[in-house]
Amino acid sequence: MVQVERINLVMAANENAVNGPVERINLVAAANENAVNGNGNGPTVAIHTHGCKLNQADSQVLARQFQQAGFTVVRSAAQADVVVLNSCTVTATSDAKARQYLRRARRANPDALVVATGCYAQRAREDLSAMNEVSLVLDNQQKEELVATVAAELKIEEPFSVENRPEAVGRSRAMVKIQEGCDQVCAYCIVPKVRGRERSIPPEEIIAEINGRVGCREAVLTGTQLGTYGFDLPNTNLRDLVKRVLAETSIDRLRVSSLQAQEITTELLELWQDPRLCPHFHIPLQSGSNTILRSMRRRYDTARFAETVELVREKVPDAGITTDVIVGFPGEGAREFAESYSFAASVGFSDLHVFPYSIRPGTSAAHLSGQVEDAKKRERTGEMLELAAAAAREFRQGVLGQTRPVLWEPAKRHESGGVWSGLTDNYLRVRAQSDRDLGNIITDTRLTALDEDRVTGEVV
């Protein structure tokens, strides 16, 4: 069995984390290739992000707003006058990681203004406010005023000059929020309480956002419930939005971050005939047991899910299909877990993100009988992680010999030359060595080998 300690490692290191109950930490200002050093005249800010791509989109917006106000985005809390944590609260582990980071940031920089925002701040404002390490707590509704609030705390009356200042984040890949909130209210999920009811952003604003991200090569459409986009707007839906983005922007690649199985139709998939649309689909499964799916209040069964996967593979060959699986949901006995494991194994996912069920206060699942004991949950999580690793390895082996487009990120330079890392269109992390400057360039790349489960390639 895999030890449960691997869970956090997988969540932190996995490059394919997407919307849904995601634990992977994404340090926007520290990890992003475009984060700048603290060499401006104004105050400095470090933005640290936990959770899903929707949070990543919010953090990219915050970074641009801070820059427009004269701040310099820096790589670490130790460098910063202001440290912002954009938090997740999808599991108890998310909450613990938020508290750990806030304490670590304060130790690294005792004089910084430490700000907690995001979903944990929305759900448990009082808990974060009680932490000595935290200076300000602003919930999701207050994110729009966050920069102004910070400036007021620092007694900044006039913005610093921002002329000729480089973009801090998102130059290669822009996370673009198209909607927020969820009306589906699954039994385990806290998201409707911390993100609110579904609301769509008008297409004109989305298109302007993409066109305004100068230098970006890929845009990722993000949200809580993308498939119902446009229900509250006249004469639009997700398919219409994607068509407009393709027609009215010059973005090189467009990615849709997550879709529910029941929302994927033949008409929607026809759009993927355009090569600018990335052949990657994240379709949350959550459980492969119909009994558990009904208890979760999911809106599909395994038969419908399998039909959707078959349809995707028919219409978009070579697509990567990733998913989320929750282990240890209340009522999951040995039989239900075996059903879930067997179904997940049968689908042939390109990757699985595995999460032990965590009670979230205020959700109906918190009151269900049949809570699974922690030891059993850890054991089953380990088994599912082993399946995830095997599925990812099999998919990667299957693409060897193919030539696929890769969007390269700036590399760490070594004496032996440049080592570059990037993502294929179907969402595989690829590493290659080249003396060329590949940063923020899309090249055809021949996928040649596996190195510790990561694909290595040769630039064509």
- Summarize pLDDT for 9-22 with one digit per residue, the tens: 333 333 333 333 33
In which band, very low, low, confident or very high, does the pLDDT at 286 lie, cut at 50, 70 and 90?
very high
Structure tokens at 331: 């009522």
What CATH number corresponds to the domain at position 451? Answer: 2.40.50
Structure tokens at 444: 């055809």
Of 342, 346, 449, 432, nearest to 393 (Cα)? 449
| 177 and 137 together in one domain | no
Strand partners, 281: 321
What CATH number corresponds to the domain at position 390? Answer: 3.30.750.200
| 408 and 433 together in one domain | yes
2-11, 171-180, 391-400, 413-422, range with the lowest pLDDT:
2-11
Q: Is 239 helix (H, G, I), strand (E, B) or coil?
A: helix
- In-domain check, residue 161: no
| 367 and 410 together in one domain | no
- In-domain check, residue 243: yes
Quick check: 428 and 396 in contact, CB under 8 A? yes
Tell me the mean pLDDT in the region 444-453.
91
- In-domain check, residue 375: yes
| pLDDT score for 158 | 56
Three-point CA angle 251, 257, 263, nearest 5°: 115
| 394 and 410 together in one domain | no
Q: Is 421 helix (H, G, I), strand (E, B) or coil?
A: strand
| pLDDT score for 16 | 37
Strand partners, 457: 447
Quick check: 329 and 188 in contact, CB under 8 A? yes
| 25 and 148 together in one domain | yes
What CATH number corresponds to the domain at position 57? Answer: 3.40.50.2300
How far is the C-alpha of 380 from the C-alpha of 356, rounded, in Å? Answer: 9
How far is the C-alpha of 385 from the C-alpha of 226, rounded, in Å? Answer: 27
- In-domain check, residue 162: no
**Sequential DSSP letters for 147-162:** HHHHHHHTT--SPPP-
- In-domain check, residue 276: no
Three-point CA angle 32, 37, 41, nearest 5°: 135
Residue that finishes a domain, picked among 207, 242, 257: 257
Of 252, 228, 248, nearest to 238 (Cα)? 228
The distance of Cα 235 from the centroid of its chain, to the nearest Å, equals: 29
Quick check: 450 and 436 in contact, CB under 8 A? no
| 34 and 149 together in one domain | yes
| 391 and 408 together in one domain | no
Strand-pair category, 113-118 with 44-50: unpaired
Of 142, 287, 208, nearest to 150 (Cα)? 142
* pLDDT surpasses 50 at 339: yes
* pLDDT surpasses 70 at 213: yes
What CATH number corresponds to the domain at position 224? Answer: 3.30.750.210
| 377 and 413 together in one domain | no
- In-domain check, residue 140: yes
Q: Please report, for residues 55, 333, 340, 351, 452, the alpha-carbon distance to residue 65 in angstroms, rounded to integers and kept in the order given.
A: 15, 49, 44, 34, 39
Quick check: 226 and 256 in contact, CB under 8 A? yes
Residue that finishes a domain, picked among 369, 398, 427: 398
Structure tokens at 78: 């130790």
Task: Give percent of the chain with pLDDT exceeding 90.
Answer: 75
* pLDDT surpasses 60 at 390: yes
128-136 long-range Cβ contacts below 8 angstroms, 24+ apart: 128/98, 128/102, 131/99, 131/102, 131/103, 132/106, 133/102, 133/103, 133/105, 133/106, 134/102
Quick check: 404 and 447 in contact, CB under 8 A? yes
- In-domain check, residue 278: no
Structure tokens at 106: 């304060």
How far is the C-alpha of 91 from the C-alpha of 94, rounded, in Å? Answer: 5
| pLDDT score for 279 | 98
Quick check: 325 and 344 in contact, CB under 8 A? yes
Tell me the mean pLDDT in the region 286-304.
97
Structure tokens at 161: 């000059």
Q: How many domains does the chain have?
A: 4
Task: Say if residue 158 is exposed, middle or buried (CB neighbours under 10 Å; 0-12, 13-18, 19+).
Answer: exposed
| 418 and 451 together in one domain | yes
| 149 and 26 together in one domain | yes
| 200 and 223 together in one domain | yes
| 391 and 415 together in one domain | no
| pLDDT score for 125 | 94
Of 410, 426, 427, 419, nearest to 451 (Cα)? 419
**Which residues make Cβ contacts (< 8 Å) with residue 436, sequence separation at least 6?**
418, 459
Whole-model pTM: value is: 0.83
- In-domain check, residue 163: no
Backbone angles phi, psi at 291, to 5 degrees: -60, -45
Structure tokens at 223: 């949200």
In which band, very low, low, confident or very high, does the pLDDT at 418 lie, cut at 50, 70 and 90?
confident
Q: pLDDT, tens digit, for every residue of 347-365?
A: 999 999 999 999 999 999 9
Q: Which residue range forms the structural domain that includes residue 217?
A: 172-257
Tell me the mean pLDDT in the region 99-120.
95
Backbone angles phi, psi at 220, to 5 degrees: -115, 115
Q: pLDDT, tens digit, for every residue of 112-153?
A: 999 999 999 999 999 999 999 999 999 998 998 999 999 999
